[in-house]
Copies of this chain bind each other. A is one copy, B any other.
Amino acid sequence: MPPFEFQSHDHASCMTSAMRAAEQHCLDAKLQFTPVRRAALEILLSEHKALGAYDILAKLDARGLGSAPPVAYRALEFLVKNGFAHKVEKLNAYVACAHPGETHDPAFMICTSCDSIVEAATDPQAGQLGRAAKAAGFEINTAVLEAEGLCPSCKPT
């Protein structure tokens, strides 16, 4: 079972456990989990939706942690590079990773009605893209899988 689904869940505990996991990973890998980076991850975890870099920057600024774009972009770069967050290409926005620890290409389902977003577990090498790539002799390094539509709550019954 993924850390969260479209259904409601214990937000506070999902957030603190993700923070702990990130902290541990940084210790293990000797990465600097600095205040800006920590705050950026907290901000992303606070929402189950994608936030633009400038949204995050505004929230960082509200905490007194920097007001110029590179501050936010650098923190996001760190989070994405280390698997704590992903960029949602379709939205030019960022979201906390739902399966931290493992590095992976994410697959997203984005609700166009309520902006909620969930990350599904998939293996890009295995799906249709993987098959097409194999057929074409193409070697996949990274994959983007993003679906837009209606989540169960917003879907007309």
**Which residue numbers of A lie inside 8 Å of B, CB to CB?**
5-6, 89-90, 107, 109, 111-112, 118, 120-124, 126-129, 132-133, 136-152, 155
| A129 and B149 form a contact (CB under 8 A) | no
Given the interface pairs A90-B89, A146-B144, A147-B124, the reply to whether A6 lies near B129 with Cβ below 8 Å is no
Given the interface pairs A141-B149, A144-B89, the reply to whether A136 lies near B155 with Cβ below 8 Å is no
Contact residues in B for A139 (Cβ distance below 8 Å):
149-150, 155
Chain B's nearest CB lies how many Å from the CB of A46? Answer: 22
Give the dominant DSSP class at A's interface.
Answer: mixed
Provide the bound-state CA to CA distance between A129 and B124, in Å: 10
| A148 and B142 form a contact (CB under 8 A) | yes
Extra inter-chain contacts (13) besides given A107-B129, A122-B129, A137-B152, CB under 8 Å? A89-B89, A109-B140, A118-B138, A120-B133, A121-B132, A122-B128, A126-B128, A136-B151, A137-B155, A138-B152, A139-B150, A141-B150, A142-B148
Provide the bound-state CA to CA distance between A114 and B147, in Å: 28
Chain B's nearest CB lies how many Å from the CB of A98? Answer: 12
| B122 and A132 form a contact (CB under 8 A) | yes
Contact residues in B for A127 (Cβ distance below 8 Å):
127-129
